[in-house]
Amino acid sequence: MQINRLTQQIQFIIEIDQLKQVMRQTLLTDGSRRENSAEHSWHLAVMASVLAEYAPEGVDIFHATVRWAGSPT
């Protein structure tokens, strides 16, 4: 059963790596280029973690940063 879980986790990692190829319409803050979906997702996860102390009590930061992405965890 652990091997199946590891296989699913590796497949998830490979899948999210493909987000680097998905270009968004949003420019970087310096306006130099469009960001890709991997950068966007990383930025949102970091912001959620940094600002977690301001979230209402009971908000699950793990859910906000990982589970929404379809992680097999």
pLDDT at residue 66 in the model: 73
Identity of the highest mean pLDDT range in 10-19, 38-47, 58-67: 10-19
pLDDT category at 62 given cuts 50, 70, 90 is confident
The answer on pLDDT for 22 being more than 90 is yes
pLDDT category at 3 given cuts 50, 70, 90 is confident
The 10 Å Cβ neighbour count of residue 65 is 19
Rounded CA gap, 31 and 11, in Å? 33
Ramachandran region of residue 70, left (φ > 0), alpha (ψ -120 to 50) or beta? left
The answer on pLDDT for 53 being more than 60 is yes
Rounded CA gap, 57 and 34, in Å? 35
Mean pLDDT, range 35-50, rounded to an integer: 90
Query: Which strand (E) or helix (H) includes residue 34?
Result: strand 34-36
